[in-house]
Structure 1
Amino acid sequence: MVCSVTAYGQKKNKKKEQATSVKQTPAPKPTKKSPFKKYSELVTEEAITDEGLFQVHSVGGKYYYEIPFDLLNADMLLVSRISKIAAGLGGGYMNAGSKSNEQVVRWSRVQNNIHLRSISFTNVASDSLPIQLSVQANNYDPILAAFKIEGFNPDSTAALIEVSDLFLSDNPALSGLSDNMRKTYKVRNLDRSRSFISRMASFPQNIEVRHDMTYNATAPPSNSRTGTISMEMSQSMYLLPETPMQPRLYDERVGWFTIRQIDYGSEALKSDVKSYIRRWRLEPKDPEAYARGELVEPVKPIVYYLDPATPEKWRPYFRQGIEDWQVAFEAAGFKNAIVAKDAPTKEEDPDWSPEDARYSTVRYVASTTRNAVGPSVSDPRSGEIIESDIIWYHNHLRSYRNRYMLETGAANPSARTLDTPEEEIGEMMRRVISHEVGHALGLPHNMKASYAYPTDSLRSATFTQKWGLAATIMDYTRYNYVAQPGDEGVRWVRMLGPYDEYAINWGYRYLPDANSAEEEKATLDSWIREKAGDPKYLFGGGNSFDPSSQTESVGDDPVKASRYGLANLKIVAPNLAKWTATPGDNYADLEELYGELIGVWTRFAGHVITNVGGVYEELKTTDQAGATYTPIAKSEQLESMKFLNEDVFTTPDWLLQKEILDNLEPTKAIQAIENMQSRLLSSLLRKDRLERMIENEALNGAEAYSMTAMLSDLRKGLWSELSGAKDIDAFRRNLQRAHVERLAALMKQDERRRSDVSAAARAELKAIQASSRAASSRYRAGIVQFHLRDIDALIDTLLSAE
């Protein structure tokens, strides 16, 4: 450790001495007072001291860090969390334990001060290269705080600074309030008189601080009459490894969360963007046994503690959900790589805290939010995951109960109740925890995994019990909505699959012979090539144009799967009132589930819409055969349009259950159905979808399903009543108006750059106008005739304005 100290010389005054007749006596030199206090003056007998990474001292309301000189300029990860939160803060997706910031910091000495800097590793270059000087000069790290050195320890190996102000001032880098929240809640300032440090503890690798922050706010999220927002913040400062873990280069063909660096030392003719996967550091205890192919325990396993607030009856399922990943790690050569433990009691470990950076926790949060998340904290130098906290929100149970009833109730008798059997709810929770742990291990969503399995195979007990519902738990394939009444023994709930083992092996397999990320690349690439062409091992994060990479879908045929799903919903709908009835209760459950029923059907229909103008994406490197992007076959798109015209854009009589509608607020259900159909129509007529169809026709000619053909097929379906002067009910009239408005919107979107989209939209409007004008005279005076004449006038107005 080398500390640079700037020395200042004093210039001697060379003015000529003035003559004087009086002999002058020189004044005595003043004794120079040291700027530092003695250690005993700072750390008095009343001091409360805690030894660890730094010694921390509490003396008379002041807090001191005793920073060893050998830890100056060491990389430390500072994680800021809200450990106690005001009700409603953040709109429901923030909770006790939510992370507000993470950053690498360094302590450094500058003359008689200690500076705390926030360090970025986004722009890098090797220390041995000249360009590193420029990287440093153009990426000057900000100073978060500066502290006067108050004194030194007795052997002068550490400096003492008072850190109270760091935690009692409104430092944005440590705050739990974002700029947006400050605006929303009209926060004026931090009230220091109501802010205080409640805990400061030092451990061998980390320092933990808890401090209460109270803000004056005009519009707080709760307790509005107080004009106050109070929260307890947790600051965990963790010493990062002196030697970072060897990073592993990211490959987009296998899904991983990443860190990103811009390397200015690259030999390329530009800076080189490098992405490394985020993963835990797993190294075998017995490298020789590992090399022989034996299962070996890691030096440091991944340990998750269960929040003491977790209800006892759910704890076994949470443990299972965590340890389900042991099988995947066995594929990577490790046994017992991930384990679940109960948090120690206060008697066992009074210092244990879920906010402590040393511990990863599954947090059980008392919140009405229906969700679960799996965030983690990683070393930005290498991607090494340091710790994570899985968040389970209490009311998420209700979401899974509801979906279980709606999506499986037709064929699954145990789902036909508001009181889902505890064992089945537990199984759902187990799989949600597994999904979130997957995120915390580094895996993002893989929406392509559900497309790996044939749709009809999901009706097979043998297949689903062995393979599950999708090739990974990281897909959003929650339930088997394909299975039909009579399909005995099928699996209803998702589970881990072959892709999970593949991805964990790819990311965590220990490669001792590779001394750099670049040396690993050939081996990692070979593993991908071994699985090439097998849909179980493809990755797709989900996008708007690929029907094989959709959320909430199951099977490899969206039309067939949605037909099966619709058949089941037509059984659920007439039974919904009976299944949700509780003597003595009102119809709130029925209203909630009916709204979600419409939402489920919307998703099924949306999967089919993606086929229209759809393009398959299969990520490849330049040395792999085949195309990355392949348009959906014309025949599949035609079948999809047929389904949409017959089952989506017709009036859904099966949803109009009298027993339901008679007990809901008037017009509420009708509006929900109208809104659903209008949203689906707008999705079908998205400009980017139409542009893909134009490009497909330009490249593939008659083999493509053209935009004009699709618009024509849609018009013939939506306005089919006009050819025979059939009645047009309220739902269809609403949808027809929405059709006209959406076509007009397409013309307006295209104003700046006229294209085939605006031309086709104009032609469709004129065709609708001509048909409506001709048909209106065939209807008697009444709402249908009024509707058609209104359409005629509306199109006139839209075209003239355009």
Structure 2
Amino acid sequence: MKRQLICLLSLLLLSGATTATVAKGKKSKKKAQTTAPAAPAKKQSDYDKLFKDKKVKTSKGGMMTLHLVDDQLLVELPLKTLGRDMMLMSSVAEITDHTDSYVGLSPLRPLQVKFDTINRSVVLRRDRSQSVVGDNSEGIRRALEQSNMPAILGSYKIKAFNADSTAVVFDMTDLFIGDESLLTAIDPRSETKLVLRGISFNQKKDRSMLVDVAAFDDNANITSYITYDSKIGKTYNKVTTAKLVRSLTLLPETPMRPRLADFRLPLNVLGKYNYHSGYKLMDPVYFATRWRMEPSDQAAYDRGETVEPKEPIVFYIDTTFTAQMSGAITKGILEWNKCFEAIGFKDAIRVKPFPTPQEDPQFSPQNFRYNCINYVPSLAGDSRVRTYVDPRSGEILRTTVMVCHNMVWEMPFEIFVFTAHADPSVRQRYMPDSTLFEHIKNHFTWLTGVDCFGMSYNLTSSAAFPSDSLRNNPAFTQKYGTTPSMLDIAKYNFIAPIDAVKKGYRITPTGVGEYDYHVVKCLYKPIPGAKTSEEELKVVEKWVDATVGNPIYRYENAKDCPDCGANDVGDDDIKNFKYALGNLKYCMENFDKWISDKDDPEYLYRQGLYNYLYRRYKQLLTQVAITAYGVKTYERKANDPVPNYEFTSYEDQKEALDILYAHRYMPDWVCRPELVRLMGIQRERIEEHKDYVQLLMTATATRLFVYDGQGEDHFDHKRYIRYMFDKLFEKTRKGQKLADEDFYYQTNFAKTMMASSHVIDRNAKFKNRGGASSTLAAQIADDPSIFDFSDPEACMKAADELPLLYPVNDVNFGRDEVSAQYGALKYWPVLNTQSTRQLYFGILKELRNVVKPYINTSDRRTREHYRFIYESINRLID
């Protein structure tokens, strides 16, 4: 039958052709009426229906194709991409209020995700696995997979397959305009959240929308406007809209082999739980975060030649910066090339300006494959860095540096405070361009070193240099600068003598130092003979072993180690204090004369300098307190020729305490009341000083418990409390007139002894007989400045909350550490017991006898002061 139909169709077609020919030959006037049969209409596919009669913007990439269809986002995902590890993150492209988040910032850490299918849906899974199997045991691996199943972040019905069925299409609109908190635009540590505690941001979906898509070879961007309403209580309300770029990027198909971290090195790390078979103890393992640094010519590298890396680290710098700023930033970053060249890599780091669309059509600061240094029009005076790491291996994939507008505006204050005594050229309102250039360069060498290349802070490095060499040896400073490492925060030789620059001193770092070469070598030098991460670690450990005991190569990260001070140089804090105090006094007495009324008619700059100089004075006092109570520590492995820790000697503790307590009276040269009257109204400096010194005294008491049991060669807590009592009531015992500060310190000490002896309860639950006693107990218990030294938990909490000096301890380092203790600040435990209550109770009884002779003598204020202490003790303990 089929053959008959085919023959019939053929005959009909042939007949039609012949008839037409004959008619034409006879020149018939009759027009042929026969026409070819219409072809059957092509059936429209589900794929075509998605786009028919709609406004569509399509961006095709190697990883996926994105379709913006009216108000919907349709993702066309190749089937070969299912199961591939990816990273999902948000970055801010624009925002209505920079105090909520910075342009260029990724507010939260990126998510490790992958697409999968379940039934007729595509699901987006989040993989949070923090575990590795040290000996490749299949049984443990299977158990971990069952216990660490990736969570489902979103589920999307498959709407269609593409024409050749190699990709699926699904709608992901809700993820990118919804209220997914993991993709928020608001920085958890924004200026708004730090200042307006308790503020809440609520996303409004009806004012959020998709605006653009862009797909590239291995990543894709989805751009949305996200709107938040924020409020505090009933009075503060505002609206914030952010233009957010959400990026999906493929992680390397073959993860880089991790380099295990030696904790004796200052590194940023990824922490993993390491499971072993055979009931071995589960222990943490740390992957060093680092760029993939491989020779472009392995044979030449093996011959000892310097070669370029396969993939250099390229930074793109915002063209908004001035030429001076851009040049200083560039030179600061490229300083690290010296360390990479020492291990055989030429031009490993490169810096280029933002390319134009003609130069690079794919460039965008939001494109994940570009490392960018962005200008941020924020009034803040800092810089922020976000470094993105492959969570499977520790490979650094991208880094972004955000430089706030006021960073350079605030820098002259710091330069002045630390160097004006030594460098006459900075004793003016505006810094010389060459000076500012050098300090910006040094800042970015430090900043990128600790945040962009896998390394971290080493605040002990500068303690390797003798203080006397920095103070008295110009040749030493010219050769070595201030520190053997730019990973330290040791930007200025603040202990150099007056007019040191004229005398041939260098007062800034010389650039990367000996220790920096060592760390870069341990982190990046290829180890071709090693076949596993464990074999690599053995080689790195030998490199570190060879340096242990040499102060140049010491690394430590402890909060209460005297050598770990930011902006500290030299090995002797007591000498440093004496040298620096003289320099500070010189600046404090003269700074207002160095700045002309013409350059500073409203005294705003001089007021800023005065505040910075006083802040520096507080920093110096804090470093003295840390010397008194601190413990010198070492990062140590078994058989290393250094101790775990060293207690400060009694002599050094005593000298530090004597200095601290001598400065409980603020020097006249710090007050400068005649100058303050020319500035804006502000709190009396002496009141601020009393509060801060009291804080240092209390902090010293809470931390000295760690010295208990160390014998007579050290100041422990009990010995210190007795010292404190003797010092603060020295004038009383001698019958001398009290200064304003004495009234304040004595009252606080008495109340602290009452709280610590537990004659009253900290929470005012226990009340003695009589209304006056009850009122006093409640007053002391509710005073946040009064500590209960006999309560270990309270002491620890108080010690952790004391804002004693260095903001570096609170900085968001941008690390992607997972469950890691590596590199965490060491805190010393409070080891006291309730037996110390007897000490405080005994001092209370003795104190009553000390003040009793004066309750009816001297001037009225002094009598009332002593009577308050005397009668308070009577009512509480009798």
- Is TM more than 0.5 here? yes
1:453 aligns with 2:453: no
Letter in 2 for 1:361: C
> Per-residue CA shift, 1:27-60, capped at 9, x if unaligned?
xxxxxxxx99533323559643322121222333
**Which residue of 2 is the match for residue 23 of structure 1?**
none
> Per-residue CA shift, 1:654-709, capped at 9, x if unaligned?
21213323234265323222222222222222x2x221121322xxxx33334343
| Alignment equivalent of 2:838, drawn from 759, 769, 772 | 759
782 and 578 in structure 1: CA distance in 2 versus 1, 3 angstrom threshold: farther
CA shift for structure 1 position 764: 3.7
CA shift for structure 1 position 754: 4.3
Secondary structure in structure 2 of the residue aligned to 1:418 = coil
Whole-angstrom CA distance in 2 between matches of 1:614 and 1:190: 51
Secondary structure in structure 2 of the residue aligned to 1:619 = coil
221 and 58 in structure 1: CA distance in 2 versus 1, 3 angstrom threshold: farther
1:790 aligns with 2:804: no
| Alignment equivalent of 1:479, drawn from 474, 479, 492 | 492
640 and 213 in structure 1: CA distance in 2 versus 1, 3 angstrom threshold: same
Whole-angstrom CA distance in 1 between matches of 2:279 and 2:329: 48
Structure having the higher Rg = 2
1:236 aligns with 2:247: yes
CA shift for structure 1 position 170: 1.5
**Which residue of 2 is the match for residue 7 of structure 1?**
none
Secondary structure in structure 1 of the residue aligned to 2:110 = strand
450 and 282 in structure 1: CA distance in 2 versus 1, 3 angstrom threshold: same
1:512 aligns with 2:524: no
Once the two structures are superposed, the pairs formed by residues 565-584 of structure 1 within 5 Å of their partners are: 565-583=580-598
508 and 44 in structure 1: CA distance in 2 versus 1, 3 angstrom threshold: farther
Letter in 1 for 2:643: A
**Which residue of 1 is the match for residue 222 of structure 2?**
209
Gaps of 5+ in 1: 1-34
- Contact 1:212–1:231 (8 Å) recurs in 2: yes
| Alignment equivalent of 1:195, drawn from 194, 208, 217 | 208
Once the two structures are superposed, the pairs formed by residues 123-202 of structure 1 within 5 Å of their partners are: 123-125=131-133, 129-177=138-186, 184-192=198-206, 194-202=207-215
556 and 351 in structure 1: CA distance in 2 versus 1, 3 angstrom threshold: same
> Per-residue CA shift, 1:753-780, capped at 9, x if unaligned?
8435433333444444433333556x63
More displaced stretch, 617-626 vs 275-284 = 617-626
| Alignment equivalent of 1:691, drawn from 705, 710, 716 | 705
128 and 151 in structure 1: CA distance in 2 versus 1, 3 angstrom threshold: farther
| Alignment equivalent of 1:709, drawn from 706, 716, 719 | 719
Letter in 2 for 1:529: D
| Alignment equivalent of 1:392, drawn from 386, 398, 403 | 403
**Which residue of 1 is the match for residue 748 of structure 2?**
738
**Which residue of 2 is the match for residue 556 of structure 1?**
571
CA shift for structure 1 position 249: 0.9
More displaced stretch, 311-320 vs 76-85 = 76-85
797 and 248 in structure 1: CA distance in 2 versus 1, 3 angstrom threshold: farther
Whole-angstrom CA distance in 1 between matches of 2:616 and 2:44: 70
**Which residue of 2 is the match for residue 366 of structure 1?**
377
CA shift for structure 1 position 506: 0.6
Cα RMSD of the aligned pairs, angstroms, is: 2.7
Structure 1 residue ranges (4+ consecutive) displaced by more than 6 angstroms after TM superposition: 178-183
534 and 380 in structure 1: CA distance in 2 versus 1, 3 angstrom threshold: same
Letter in 2 for 1:693: Y
| Alignment equivalent of 1:114, drawn from 96, 115, 122 | 122
| Alignment equivalent of 1:75, drawn from 85, 88, 92 | 85
CA shift for structure 1 position 493: 2.7
Once the two structures are superposed, the pairs formed by residues 416-431 of structure 1 within 5 Å of their partners are: 416-431=427-442
- Contact 1:185–1:221 (8 Å) recurs in 2: no
Whole-angstrom CA distance in 2 between matches of 1:740 and 1:577: 41
Whole-angstrom CA distance in 2 between matches of 1:799 and 1:373: 54
- Contact 2:423–2:499 (8 Å) recurs in 1: no
**Which residue of 1 is the match for residue 328 of structure 2?**
317
Letter in 2 for 1:215: Y
658 and 513 in structure 1: CA distance in 2 versus 1, 3 angstrom threshold: same
**Which residue of 2 is the match for residue 628 of structure 1?**
644
| Alignment equivalent of 2:58, drawn from 15, 32, 49 | 49
Secondary structure in structure 2 of the residue aligned to 1:512 = coil
Whole-angstrom CA distance in 2 between matches of 1:671 and 1:785: 22
| Alignment equivalent of 1:105, drawn from 106, 109, 113 | 113
Whole-angstrom CA distance in 2 between matches of 1:635 and 1:200: 68
| Alignment equivalent of 1:403, drawn from 385, 403, 414 | 414
CA shift for structure 1 position 743: 4.1
- Contact 1:84–1:97 (8 Å) recurs in 2: no
**Which residue of 2 is the match for residue 610 of structure 1?**
626
CA shift for structure 1 position 371: 1.6
762 and 463 in structure 1: CA distance in 2 versus 1, 3 angstrom threshold: farther
**Which residue of 2 is the match for residue 261 of structure 1?**
272
| Alignment equivalent of 2:477, drawn from 436, 439, 464 | 464
Whole-angstrom CA distance in 1 between matches of 2:541 and 2:621: 38
| Alignment equivalent of 1:750, drawn from 769, 781, 790 | 790
1:585 aligns with 2:588: no
Q: TM-score, normalised by structure 2?
A: 0.81
- Contact 2:71–2:209 (8 Å) recurs in 1: no
- Contact 1:577–1:659 (8 Å) recurs in 2: no
Letter in 2 for 1:109: T
Letter in 1 for 2:737: D
Letter in 2 for 1:197: L
Q: Equivalent pairs: percent with the same residue?
A: 26
CA shift for structure 1 position 446: 0.9
Letter in 2 for 1:715: F
> Per-residue CA shift, 1:66-124, capped at 9, x if unaligned?
1111111000111222222231544xx74442332301110112222111111123123
Letter in 1 for 2:577: S
542 and 355 in structure 1: CA distance in 2 versus 1, 3 angstrom threshold: farther
**Which residue of 2 is the match for residue 287 of structure 1?**
298
| Alignment equivalent of 2:673, drawn from 658, 664, 668 | 658
Letter in 1 for 2:455: L
CA shift for structure 1 position 444: 1.5
CA shift for structure 1 position 373: 2.7
- Contact 1:102–1:377 (8 Å) recurs in 2: yes
CA shift for structure 1 position 557: 0.5
> Per-residue CA shift, 1:478-497, capped at 9, x if unaligned?
32210111432322233432
681 and 581 in structure 1: CA distance in 2 versus 1, 3 angstrom threshold: farther
Gaps of 5+ in 2: 1-42, 758-787, 793-831
Letter in 2 for 1:98: S
Whole-angstrom CA distance in 2 between matches of 1:272 and 1:602: 42
623 and 37 in structure 1: CA distance in 2 versus 1, 3 angstrom threshold: farther
CA shift for structure 1 position 609: 1.1
1:337 aligns with 2:341: no
799 and 679 in structure 1: CA distance in 2 versus 1, 3 angstrom threshold: farther
1:306 aligns with 2:346: no
Count of residues paired in the alignment: 752
Letter in 2 for 1:114: V
> Per-residue CA shift, 1:160-196, capped at 9, x if unaligned?
112222212212222224789699444444233x222
- Contact 1:598–1:673 (8 Å) recurs in 2: no
- Contact 2:664–2:741 (8 Å) recurs in 1: no
Whole-angstrom CA distance in 2 between matches of 1:280 and 1:742: 53
Whole-angstrom CA distance in 1 between matches of 2:756 and 2:654: 22
